[in-house]
Structure formats: C-alpha cells, structure tokens
Chains A and B, each alone.
Chain A
Amino acid sequence: MTTTKKRLVDNDGAVSVLVVLMGFLVGTILVALVGKNPLNMYKALFQALSGYNIDNGRMNVRYIAETLNYSVPFILCGLSMGFAKRVGLFNIGGEGQYIMGLTLAQTVALLGPQVVVLHWILAILSAIVIGALWGGVVGLLKAKYEVSEVVSTIMLNYVALYLSRIICLQLPGATTYKTANFPTTALIENRFFQTITHNSLLNNGIFMMVAAVLLFWYIMEKTSLGYGMRATGFNKDAARASGIPVVKSISISMAISGAFAGLAGGIVALGSFKYGRVLAGMDNYGFDGIAVALVGNCTALGTTLAGLLFGLLKNAQALMQGKQIPKEITFIIQGLIVIFIALRSALKLYQEYLDKRQLQKEVGVK
C-alpha cells in the first residue's frame, strides 16, 4: 500500500492528475458556496468536451472543434515554456514572442504576395522566425552575459506589445483596433472542418500544433541536441565540465522556445480572425502557457493534455454563463491548479515524513 502511494507521489503525471482533480473539487465547493448548482458547471464542461447538451439532448460537434481550436495556442505556448524549462530556463516571454509572431503574420498577410498556399505559409514562417529571434536574443544574452532571462523576457513582453501597435497602425486600413480584412490567400481556414463542425473556427493550425508537439518530443527525447539540453537543464556545471556547449544549448533552446510561441501567434492571427488586430492589451496565451507547461510537467504529452484542459475551460465559459454559472469560475480553477502544482514539493515532503515514520516503526522507536 505504502509503495503504491510512494510511486504515485514520485510519478509526476499522477501528481498532475491529482492536482487537477483538487482544483475542480475546490472549484465545485466554491460554486456551491455562492449558491449555484455545481452540476451546471459540469454540464457545461461536458458539453464543451463532447458537444452533447445534457439538458436538451442535442449534439453539436462545433463545441468539440472550438475546444480544440482554443487549445492550440495554449498547447503551443505551453511547449514554449516547457522547452525552455527543460533546459533550466524560465521563459516568461512567451507572451512577447506570441505577440511578435501574431504581428508579423498579420503584416505578411496584408502586405505579402497573394499567391495561393505560399501566402499563408510565408506568414506562418515569418511568425515562427520572429518568435525564434525574439526568444533567441534572450538566450544569447543569458548565455553570453548572464542576463537573467526572467527579467529580459518580461521587459521584452512590453516592447513586443507596443512595437506591435506601432507596426499594426501602419498596416492598410488600420483603425485604432483593427486593420483591413486579410486576403483569403493568407487565411489558414479549413473548409472541410468548417463543413463538418457547423462553421467552427477550427483551422489548419491544429496540424501545425500536432507537428510542433511531435517536434518537441523528438528533439527533446530522441536527439543528441535534446540530450545536451536536458543535461544542461538538470546540471549546468556537469554539462559544461563534460564539454557540452552550454552557451549554444541555452541560445538554441530559447530560440526554439520562442518559435513555438511565435507559431501560436501566427495561428491565432490567421485562423481565428479575418482581419489584423491592433492589440490594446495582451492575449495572455503566453502567460497561460506557463501554467499549462507546469501542469504538463514540461513534457510533450503532458503539455498537450494540459493545453486541452485549458482550452476546454475556456470554451466552457460561454456555456457556463448560459447556465447561470459565473464564467470566472474557470479562471479560479486554473488558478487553483497552479497553486496546487506549487504544492507538489509539499506532497513530497509529506511522503518523506511518512517514510521516516515507517522507518522509525521498523527500528522500534516509540
């Protein structure tokens, strides 16, 4: 019995599941405390997950598609955070990298050559490249001059936001909040998805996301590049002493990290909107990505699952409001999950305490 429990605590995945359940449990209690029926919350979540409306028995796949679509930027930004974290870096700049990706994708969409397929590929590639540069600069500063990546990424988030405004206000047809419509060659919509999901916003971005997840897994777990990066993340001194090019690992990992977030920006820009946005504030996908990665233990699979969960919560918001549940409850649940994740080490301490008691019993201490 104790060994199973110990194995559970040692298993990061199991802890994450536990943490999510605890988040929902406390969220449920809160809903009950404000005098609403928690069941309605779960009905909304179920509908967002399966498309099935329990109250009227109707099925609509569109909800599933929207959940998936919402998950895409969460997952990508989670990968961004997770990749850097595995190399021992705390990339708080996912938001900035996302914004730069979004901005450049919009710019290329409005100004680029309107050639079928090539146009949107170019826009997405620009988003990836600018994200990689935006992150790579931080990596270079960190590796060469020991500039804290936490500070520089936070700063660059603001640079990105205001730079984005300056750029987008110059784009064709720009008003204070939007630009002209994108030419259709720039869009990444998927007609087939639209047909089968009753015009959901689900688009080709989901394929790019899946490719990104596979790439993350492949680089990190399978290649020698990833091996060097993981070694750097676990023990920078030993990695360096063993001849692993730590400076290179850090720069490259921040660039790859930024590329994921940049891609997220590109997909949101070209998939969820028909026009360019002049951002007044941040979309927060980059910040939510931090939580996604932490819940997902910075692995490819874990981050994907956590991202789907966050997408589910986001899609369920509107449905909850329809059922008199305040949509803010989803933010509370997300917040709780993050807090409980932080308690992971407390759980380990508790396990150590139990081990110690067990040992004391074995050697006969009263």
Chain B
Amino acid sequence: MSEYAIEMRGITKTFPGVVANDTVTLQVRSQEIHALLGENGAGKSTLMSILFGSYSADSGQIFLDGAEVFIKNPNVATALGIGMVHQHFKLVQNYSVTENIVLGMEPTKRRLLDLKSARAKVARLSEQYGLSVDPDALIEDISVGQQQRVEILKTLFRDAKIIIFDEPTAVLTPQEIDELMEILRKLRREGKTILLITHKLREIKEVADRCTVLRRGRYIGTVDVAGVTEQELAEMMVGRAVKFEIDKPDQQAGRVVLSLKGLEVTDSTGLTKVRDLSLDVHEGEIVGVAGVDGNGQSELLGAITGLLPLSQGSIILDGKNIERYTIRERIEAGLGYIPEDRQKFGLVADFTIAENSALKNYYHRRYTKRFGLLDFSAMDGEADSLIEQFDIRSAEGAATKAGSLSGGNQQKVIVAREISLSPKVLIVAQPTRGLDVGAIEYIRRRIIEERAKGRAILLVSFELDEIMNLCDRIATISKGQIIAVNRQDEVNEYQIGLMMAGSRAEAAQ
C-alpha cells in the first residue's frame, strides 16, 4: 500500500495558447485535508478537472493508493471513489434533497423508483457527518450553505473516499464558513481524504494539514501547514513578498454626493429584488455594500447606472435627480462605473485600447471633429498616456485589442477610463475578482487614491476582506434590503456575517 491516497505525477495539460499545467506533481496522503493553493489561472482547477476526469492530461500519470488509474471521464472518477463539490452547484431547484442526490443513479425495486431506501440512506449519512439536511426539503427552499451540504451528501451517497472542494467558501457567509470547516474536519475523522482548492490563506491555516502550491501552471512545493505562516504561503503563491494591508489614511468625509432614496427594483420576471433601499455616499468616502451574491446587488447597480429600470424611489447625484436620465446623461452628470462583468459590460473586446478608452466620451469635441470625423490620433494620445499612468501591459500599445489583454490589464483599462473621466461618484463592483495579487493591490490602491481626491465611491463586493480593507462605512444587504449601515471600525466580520444572513437583532448586540 502506497503512502499516498492520490498521487499525480508529471501532469501536463495545454490549451490553445496556454500551458495550464506543466509537469505538476500532487501527493495527497490518506485521510488528510490537503489544500491546493494558487492564484487565478495557476492551474488548480485544471489539475482537479484532470483528477475528476473532466479533462484528460496531455501527459502524466495518476495513482490511487499506489495503483495507476486512467480516469477517462467523471463516471470513472465516481466509480473510483472520487467526488467533487463544484463551486457552482449542480442542483435541480424544484426537486427535493433526496431526489437531487439520487439523480443519475436512481435506486429501483422491481423496476420502480425506490426513493424510500434512498431517503433513509441520505438521512443516515446526514446524521453520521453532522450535516443536518432535511432529505425532503426542496432545494429552492434551503440556504446556499445547505445546498452545498447536499452536494457533499451527493458524493458521500456515491461512497466517495476522496472529496474535492472547488473554492467552497466563495458563496458562504463567515458563519457558514465556520460550519463548513467543522464539516471538513468531521469528514476527515470519518476517514475521507479531502482536497481543498482555494486562494484563501486563512482557511488553509485553519483546517488543512498540508498544502500544495501552484504558480502559473507549475508545481512550487508542498508544505506542512503547521510549519508555515500565512505570509510564507502568500509568497509561495505569488512568488514575491506581498503586502496584505493597504495604507488608508484617515480622512474627513464631505457633503453627500450620491443619495439613494427608497429604491425599488424588480427583475425581468417581476420579482422585487431591491426594496425600500436608502443610502448616502459622501465626498471622499468609500461605502461598501456587503452581502452574499444574489441579494439584490446587481439590481441595485443596474438601477443606479440606468441599465435596469427603477420601479420606485429617487437617485440624487450632486443635487440632481438622475433617475429619469438616460445612461449617457448619467455619465455626463458625473457617474463612473466599474462593472462586475468586465468583459460583458466594461469593454469591447474587438476594440483597441485606444477605442475602449474613448468609449464613454468619443462624441466629445476632443475626439469628434467636423462632419462627425473621429480624431483617432487624439484617441491614441489619450490611450498612450493612460497606458503610462496605469501601467497597462500590452503587446502593441494603444493599438492592442482589449480582448487579447490579461484580466488584470483589462481591468486596468476600465479603471483608467473611468478615473480619467473624473466622475463625482464612482460605482465599483467586484473590482478585483479573478485578478492576480499584483493587480489586486494596484486596483485597490487606485480606489483609495480616488477617495483622497474627494470622489464618492460605492463599492459592491462579495469578498468581505475587500470590504473591510477599503471601506469607511459598510452597508450590509440581505434580500434586497439594507440591514444596517456601520462605520468600518465599529463592526467585525462576524457581525457583518450575521447581518448578511439577514438578522438585524443579533448584529445589534
């Protein structure tokens, strides 16, 4: 019997234009919680997809308990006792927990569906691992944390010995994260081997035994978690020294620049996603909207920017009611927007950097001359200066197509454009999602600089760290309502977590 439950040797996987894994090694001992750490694009997900059979490696070998295996597809992985809890759950909303769990391997008795024995097994597993999931509840009625447990039960139901968790805490509140950590420990006690994909160092320190670090598709090393600090892990991940905290000088906020009053927004299906929401943002202040994804944040952003219709309420920007303004009029009134989905809403991928940086003001005198003629050299000039100021790395300068830039540089193009328009109010949504550490630091520093210039900034983020780090005041949103607005220094993450789950009373304590 081998020392390792899983051993992946010399795994290489290429995609057009990218080497996702370059002779990567992974050795996971039996019954340990093994973290796989790396930045976005480091190759973690690719490696796990290979282990789970979703991709096949170009070269390399996989051994389970010392015996070489060939995992052609996820069914083979399942048969070998490998289960995966995906970041985006794969559940049928209007099916019960039990029905979801048996989906794909429905138990039958005399050729008829036998849910009763399945239900019993689900209940027993839930009990055994302390998951406390009601087997009869409908998925649409249970919380995100509970849905994740259903995914865990799915793997247990299929007798998984190895369970892969892909960024499991991304959608959870701090409380739910604590509970998940407890579940992971319980699973280990019950003899399961856990692989935890993450880029959150704190979770690794808290729960993992050992940690393998990947950087740009390469294997960097495997360490005992107990023997390293978070700082050391971060340096392994990034390849250089990292600064966690951002210097944010104290600053007096000025007058109110953006005032939201009694906003109500309904989505395309007629559901009310934001109700009676009021919030003020002052000059030189960053107000954060904290909340779990899907609690009305995107509808709120849509209503402010004009992308979605507002059913009720008023939006006052620097004394002017802008709720009836067109999108262009709002921009002219001084509203800047760094959207969450930068490729969908932020950039035209087929346009050059120059064309993208003029996207919001191309019709101004500066660029549009007589007969509607565009002054492309003025555009190039502006783009060159932005490239310089914002350190945008590109192959062909201003003439580079935005689509060919890395995620971090795409975001820099958007940030550069929005900042260069000198907005009075800057709406920022998930500004660092999917970026590498260097770009994250840079973008955050720029946002702080805008605060120093007296801009009013509204930041929506699902990363509580980001909110705590950047914001002066924090508005916690749950089910489309603001639960409370607190000064950053008077709340902790735990209290915000409670409010994110919707309980105002507990937070007040």
Binding site for B on A (CB under 8 A): 222-225, 227-228, 230-231, 234-235, 237-245, 352-353, 355-356, 359-360, 363-366
Contact = CB atoms under 8 A, between A and B. Distances in A.
A358 to B, nearest CB: 9
A241 B345 CA distance: 6
Given A238-B344, A238-B347, A360-B58, A355 B359 contact: no
A244 B328 contact: yes
Nearest to A223: B372
Contacts of A234: 348-351
Given A231-B348, A234-B349, A243-B331, A224 B14 contact: no
B467 to A, nearest CB: 23
B88 to A, nearest CB: 21
A352 B16 contact: yes
A223 B374 CA distance: 5
Contacts, number: 95
A353 B328 CA distance: 43
A366 B16 CA distance: 17
Contacts of A245: 326, 328
B437 interface: no
A355 B16 contact: yes
B322 to A, nearest CB: 13
Interface in B343-357: 344-351, 355
A355 B17 contact: yes
B349 A222 contact: no
Contact of B347 (A235, A244, A355, A363): A235
Given A225-B372, A237-B345, A244-B328, A360 B362 contact: no
Contacts of B22: 363
Q: Which secondary structure dominates where chain A touches chain B?
A: helix
Contacts of A352: 16-17
The CB with the most chain A CB atoms within 10 A, among B19, B22, B348, B351, is that of: B348
B410 to A, nearest CB: 12
B326 A239 contact: no
A98 B367 CA distance: 36
Given A224-B362, A356-B16, A363-B14, A241 B307 contact: yes
A346 to B, nearest CB: 15
A207 to B, nearest CB: 21
A140 to B, nearest CB: 17
A118 B367 CA distance: 38
Given A360-B58, A363-B12, A243 B344 contact: no
B328 A238 contact: no
B373 interface: yes
B373 A223 contact: yes
B327 interface: yes
B59 A365 contact: yes
Nearest to A353: B16
A239 B348 contact: yes
Q: Which 9 A-B pairs have the closest CB atoms?
A: A243-B328, A223-B372, A352-B16, A224-B368, A241-B345, A242-B359, A234-B350, A365-B58, A243-B327
A273 B330 CA distance: 54
B19 A227 contact: no
A287 B444 CA distance: 53
Contacts of B173: none
Interface in B280-329: 305, 307, 326-329
Given A363-B19, A365-B58, A227 B355 contact: yes
B300 to A, nearest CB: 15
B360 A242 contact: yes
B497 to A, nearest CB: 31
A147 to B, nearest CB: 17
